[in-house]
Every structure is written in structure tokens, then in C-alpha cells.
Chain A
Amino acid sequence: MGEVSKKVKKRFKNYDDFFQQETYLYKEIVEIMGFNTLINIPKTKDILQEYTKSVHTPDMTLDDFLKTIGEVKEGNIDDAIQSIFEGKLIICSNKGQYVVVDPIPKELNRSIEPPSNENVLQGSQSSFIEDLETNIGLIRKEKTSEKLCVNSYSMGKRQNKKLALLYIEGNVNKDILSEMQNQIEKNIKKELQNQQDLSNILGFSPWLTMSKFHTSELPSEAVKMLLQGRVVLFIDRLPIAFILPSLIWDMFTIENEHNYPYPLMILIRVLRVLGLLTTLIVPGLYVALVAVNPGVLRIEMALSIAQSRQGVPYPALVEVLIMLLILELILEASVRLPKSIGPTITMVGGIILGQAIVDAKLVSNLLIIILAATTIANFTIVGVQNSLSIRLYKYLIVIFASIYGVFGLLAGMLLIIAYLSSLKTFGVSYLNVNLERDVIKR
């Protein structure tokens, strides 16, 4: 056994999934090593043998062969160890030389499946998976263009997390792109695991309530964004595309709507805008009308509301906040629950609790209707993170409305609009409507 393999073996004595096997190549003994959890050993061996046959010439020796399959290294085993952790295979000869090869990996990825978070009605069903290369491949398949460029970075102190940056040359704004690249290269030593790390690397404030990334798990969506001149980022082992810059209009549009007739597409989008407005306004409006400005309502309406609130022991604000809190809990619980119990909780939470709480005179009838409408409207918005942000903003409006009535309601709206318009990603305003005109051709 060679010097190298001894050292390596010593290094890996606490790793039981490490394997070291002897095999014959050109009638000489070589050792192959790696992790059996990452490498498909029989297949790799087969391929290796087949390869020796295919490059076989009469006077070929083992040394020559090793040179043809990779860079031959000697002595220093740091490279070998690092490569083993990355899932590579080491072929080590008796003379202490070794080569790092890409083996047949164990199949550790799920296959390409329909998206699990974003439902597609009519359109491409494939979604991104955890493997970075597959994701880039999906995009290349969707858009065969020589202008689609990919930059790869290895992030972190040990440089073991891969980050890919995709853009379409000619469509993307060069200033934004180079600023982004600089930012990544400057922070290349920072650890990268999730979106928060990514936004840290790109230098965004961690206290933003509206995500600067538009996330999607659909290749068709990502390609549309690329064509618009945006940049797509992939983190290895995350099945999401991070699209920059994110714009407000992304909340209302989905690529596969273009498979519908044009008027229907517009109607659906209008519906989403209405959904957004409903989510924001309706709970606040209830508080404003009940607590501060009942005079705005028609007298019959005001009376019936007052009647339904008869016996409710606290002010409208508290009433709304309690019910909103319960609804948030139901929502959160139904995300966490296994799929088989989900419907039960919807039933218990929605129907039984709702009915009981009204009967017990804890909240008014009308409020239940309003909150149901709010919650449903909330989920018309595209993107999980977007709808979360909107869920948060509605509280601001509720509180404003409880102080200033209808005026507070709209003032809160103005504040939110101002906040959104103050958001900027690499110089692109969040409220930019025409990206192509304002940014790309600049």
C-alpha cells in the first residue's frame, strides 16, 4: 500500500462510509477511494474498465493512462482529501501518485417533478430541483441561446457552496450586472446557505419587510425574467431561482398566463390587483367604519353592523386583531401539518371555530366574513414571500385605521406605497413598471 493511501486512510478513520478498494488497471494494482455514500462503486468500476479498453494502445502503461484521465499529483494529500469530501474518486497507484476523477455519483436528487409551491394551471410542469447543474440545464433547455451566460462561484471559507449567476448577454444592464458580480466576489468568503445569506452577500439590509428577490421554482418563469434583462441566481441544494431585481408587477403576473387569450389574462391580473387591495384595505376598513367613522355608512348598514356587534365586549381593533391572530395560527398550522390532517384542521379552524366564536359573542358575524375574504384574497398574490409581506402590511393599516379612521386607512396605504417606492435593488426601483425602457436601454 502506498504512502498516500495510508495517510488518507488515517485521515478518514472516523468516517465509516469511506471506502478503499484495490483493483487492477493495466495489470497493476491501484487503489480507488472515496465515499460510498456519494459514489456508485460498481458502475464507476465498470466505466473505468471500459475506458481503459477504449483508449488502449499496445504500449500503454498505467502512468500514461492516469495522465489521460486527469492531473497526476504526488505527495501532498490535501487536494485528495478535499476532493473526496466533494464526492470525487481518487485513483492511487503504487508509486504514490494519484488522480482525482469524477465518478458515477449515487442518485441523491429527486427527479424533475411538478412544482410543489407554485401551481401551474396550463403550462410547463417541470420545476427546479436541488441540484444546481440540473437547474441550469433546465434553463438551457427552455432557452437555447448562445447569449445565455453562466457565472459560477464557490462561496464560503472552504469554498464548498456553489452559487450560479445567469444572465442573457445583451438583455441585461451591464452596470447592474458588474455591480452584482463585484459584490459577490468581494464577499466570496462569506458562508452561503439560504436566502438571508445571499442577501447579506449582495449587501441588502436584513430588515427589509419586502423581499428583494423574486423567487420562483418554474424554469419558464425564470427564463421570462432572464429575457426581461434580469439576473437569476441559483444556490446549490435549493430548488428555487432567485431573481433580481424584483418588481412590484411580479406580484400579479405568471408566465403561463400567456397561454390564455389576452383578455382573460388581463382579467386574471386585475383580479390579483383587487386581491391585493382587498387584503390591505378590508380589515382596516372594518375597524375604521365600526370604531371611528360609522357615519360614512348608510344608516341601515351601520345599524345592522352595530347589531351584529351587540354583546362584543371589546373595541373593534382588539376584535380584529384576535381574529387575525387566530387565522394566522391556522394558516401556519396548515403549512406545518402533514397533508392527511390538513383538511381536518381547515374544518375545525374555519367552520367550527368560526361558528362558535360568533355564537359566543366574542366577535361579530361581519368580521368573520371580512377575515375570510381577506385571507382568501391574500393568496391570490403570486409568490409566497410577497403574500407574507402583504399579510404583514395589513396590520399597519389596521392600526392606522383604528386611530384615524378612513383617513388613517388611506394614509397607511400611502405610507406603504412610499415604503415600496423607496426600495431599490442595484439602482432599480421596486415600483419600476417598464424595466426595459428605464433600466436596460439606459
Chain B
Amino acid sequence: MYFITHVGLIFFMYPTDIIESASRTHWVPIFIGMVFHLVFIWIYMKGLSYFPGKNIIDIYMEKGKGLSLIFLIPIIGYFFLANITTVRAYSEIINIVFLSETPLWATMIPFLFIATYIAAKGLNVIFHTAFIVACVFLPLFLFIFILSFQNVDWRYFFPLFDIDYSFISNRSYYKSFFSFAGVFLFLGFIQPYHTYDRKKVLLSAILLLPFFLFSVYVPILTFGQATSATFQFPFVTALDSVYISWLVFDRITMFFLISLLIFIMIFLSLLLWMVSSILVHFVPIVKHSYVLYFLSILIFIICVMLPDWKVVEKLFWWNTYFRFYVILVIPFSVLIFGVRSKRKVR
């Protein structure tokens, strides 16, 4: 679950941002991002482990309604914006890559419809769906991922140690955290329904490393840094260059993209489910599913209203503030509450 939602997020925006942010030795920003990511997951899970059987909403609610508002509203904002940008960005991608004649609103409908449908059925269904989807689509995905190395020229890997730290001051680098931040919060929501093994989560996070790494390096190794910086979706373009003589299909990119899109839909349904479950907590009179329908219609309207890609990018950037709030504040606050409540018990 953790794995596939991430995979879905990695391959579009992440390479663009990283390639934009650093001109060489791309593995440094990737590793820094990764370490950052692991540390915060660990803190978050550590904090959550002080509250067995409770989700993050319960934890904040215990501390009073005002405090919980302060903590949860940014989360809602973050999820909401993430939802909008994801839906919009990915339907944009679909339109660019293969449905050039379909209007944008029409590609958004299946996205939101299916995500809402899954979310309305509850968390268990999201998990089961994710599991089966992984069984069906992951082999396809891995197959194509391996194929993407066809045109690789390993000499582009160098220089390895001429480290350039300018990425830290680059805006794009912070945008790239979208790929990290989106998912891990759900660990805080699933507690009463599911238990998870902390080691396994960390392990799957580490397993993601090659995907992060190669999503950036495959386009660079194929085209070189200067060329790949000009593409909007470098990895997709790199895939397009692959040619396999024994395959019926000319553009395997499509299947790759679509299997990623399927993962994204699951991610969306997870986001929707989380937002609506927070909202239901504040307004308990309304039924969960109505909140969901309302939300998805709202998102749909906003997505249609956005005029062009630049606005989406801007939204994406605004969301970065929320994102860092989410990455930094939530894990730490949970940890602090956890430690304090443990002391009280003593």
C-alpha cells in the first residue's frame, strides 16, 4: 500500500523537480530527501506507538478542540490542495500523453468518480483494492521499469563526487517533497482498523529508494542533464524512446503511465477518505459518504475552473508551505504528546 501510492507519485513530478534543482550529482538531493523522509516516518510512527488503537484525530481531540483545530486544519488544507493538484495535474498528463481529443473535465470525471467510490466504501476496501491492484499492475509496472534502461548510457552517471549544494536554495527542490509528504500521514489514520509493523513500513520506504533514484537517473542517463532539464515529464519521455522489437505495442509508455495512474487513484481515494474523516469529526451530524460526495464535487469544480498549468504549478507551490508544516509539525507534535502522556501514566 505504502509502496504503490509512492510509486505513483514518484515518476511524474519528482524527476522534473530534481533535475531542475541540481545541475549535477543528483544523487545527493535524492539521498538527503530520502533520509529526511525516513527520519520523519520513524518519528511519526514512534509518536503513534504511544497511542495504541487510536488515530491521529483522536489524539488531537484529547488535547482539546481548539488545539485539534490548529493541528488538523492545515492537514485538511494540505490534503485538499494535494487532491486538487493531483487530479488536475494527472488529467493534464493523460490529455498530453494519450487522450488529446478528450476535454479535460471528461478525464477528471473517472478520476474523481472512482476515487470517491473507493473512498466511500471505507478504509478496508481501499486496502484490499490496493493489494489486488498491486498484484495485477506491479508486474506490468516493474517490467516496463526494467525496459526503460534500454537506452541508458552509464557514462552520464559521472561526475559522482563533484558535489553541488545549490539545490538547497532552489524552489523546485522543495516542491519535490510532494513525493514524500503525501502518503505517510495515512499511517496515523488507520490505527483502529489496521495494525501495521513499523519495520515493514520502514523497509518499504527503503525499497522505494531505487525508484526515486532511477526515476531521476533514467532520463539523465538517456539524454544527459542538459536535454532532460527541458522536458516537462523527463521519465515519460525517456520511456517513449524505448523500442522493443517483439512487442505488439509501440508505446509501452502508455501502460506504464496508466498503471501509475491507477496507483494515483488509490492515493486520491485515500486522501479523500482522510479529509472526510477529519471533517466528519468536526461536524458529526453529516454522514461520511455525503461529505465525500460534497468534497469530490467541490474538487471537480475547482479543477475545472483552474485556467492553465501555470496556476496548477502555483497551487503546487502554495501547497509546499502546508507540506512542510505537515512533514515537520505533525510527527513532532505526535511524538511530544506521546512522550508526555507516557510520563503522566507513570
A residues at B contact (CB < 8 Å):
277, 292-293, 295-299, 301, 400, 403-411, 413-415, 417-418, 420-422, 429, 431
Contact = CB atoms under 8 A, between A and B. Distances in A.
Contacts of A422: 121, 125
Interface stretch (B9-17, B26-34, B255-263): B255-263
B129 A421 contact: yes
Contact of A404 (B99, B117, B249, B262): B99
A415 B114 contact: yes
13 contacts: A295-B250, A296-B250, A297-B248, A297-B250, A301-B248, A405-B98, A405-B99, A410-B258, A414-B129, A414-B133, A418-B114, A418-B118, A420-B132
A104 B255 CA distance: 68
Contact of A298 (B102, B121, B132, B250): B250
A295 B94 contact: no
B255 to A, nearest CB: 7
Contact of A414 (B102, B107, B128, B265): B265
Nearest to B265: A414
A135 B97 CA distance: 59
Contact of B125 (A301, A403, A421): A421
A413 B265 CA distance: 12
B340 to A, nearest CB: 34
A407 B114 CA distance: 13
Nearest to B102: A404
Contacts of A277: 136
Nearest to A420: B132
B94 A407 contact: yes
A296 B249 contact: yes
A415 B117 contact: yes
A245 to B, nearest CB: 14
Contacts of A299: 250
B251 interface: yes
Interface string B238-252: 000000000111110
Nearest to B128: A421
Contacts of A403: 106
Interface of B: 94, 98-99, 102, 106-107, 110, 114, 117-118, 121, 124-125, 128-129, 131-133, 136-137, 247-251, 254-255, 258-259, 261-262, 265-266
Contact of A410 (B247, B248, B259): B259
Contacts of A421: 121, 124-125, 128-129, 132
A409 to B, nearest CB: 8
Contacts of A408: 110
A404 B118 contact: no
**List of 6 A-B pairs having minimum Cβ-Cβ separation, nearest first:** A421-B128, A422-B121, A298-B250, A418-B118, A431-B128, A422-B125
Contacts of B107: 404, 407
A404 B136 contact: no
B114 A414 contact: yes
A168 B132 CA distance: 30
A407 B98 CA distance: 9
Given A410-B258, A414-B129, A417-B133, 17 more contacts: A297-B248, A400-B110, A403-B106, A404-B99, A404-B102, A405-B98, A407-B98, A407-B258, A410-B262, A413-B262, A415-B114, A415-B117, A418-B125, A418-B129, A421-B128, A422-B125, A431-B131
Contacts of A296: 98, 249-251, 254
Contact of A431 (B132, B258, B262, B266): B132
Which of A301, A405, A410, A414 has most chain B Cβ within 10 Å?
A414
Nearest to B255: A406
Given A417-B132, A421-B132, A431-B128, A411 B99 contact: no
B238 to A, nearest CB: 18
B98 A295 contact: yes
B171 to A, nearest CB: 31
Nearest to A292: B99
Nearest to A411: B110
- Which of B94, B124, B129, B248 lies at the interface centre, i.e. has the most chain A CB atoms within 10 A of its CB? B129
Nearest to B253: A296
Contacts of B114: 411, 414-415, 418
A54 B152 CA distance: 95
Q: Which of B107, B247, B250, B259 has most chain A Cβ within 10 Å? A: B250
Contacts of B118: 418
A438 to B, nearest CB: 11
Contacts of B250: 295-299
* Residue from the set B117, B125, B247 with the largest chain A CB neighbour count within 10 Å: B125
Contact of B265 (A292, A295, A411): A411
A292 B98 CA distance: 9
Contacts of B261: 407, 410-411
B113 to A, nearest CB: 8
B99 to A, nearest CB: 6
Interface centre among A297, A417, A418, A431 (most CB of B within 10 A): A418
Contacts of A295: 98, 250-251
Contacts of B124: 421, 429
A241 B254 CA distance: 45
Name the residue among B124, B132, B259, B266 with the largest chain A CB count within 10 angstroms.
B132
B260 to A, nearest CB: 10
Contacts of B254: 293, 296, 406
A284 B319 CA distance: 38
Nearest to A414: B262
Contacts of A431: 128, 131-132
A201 B239 CA distance: 55
A411 B262 contact: yes
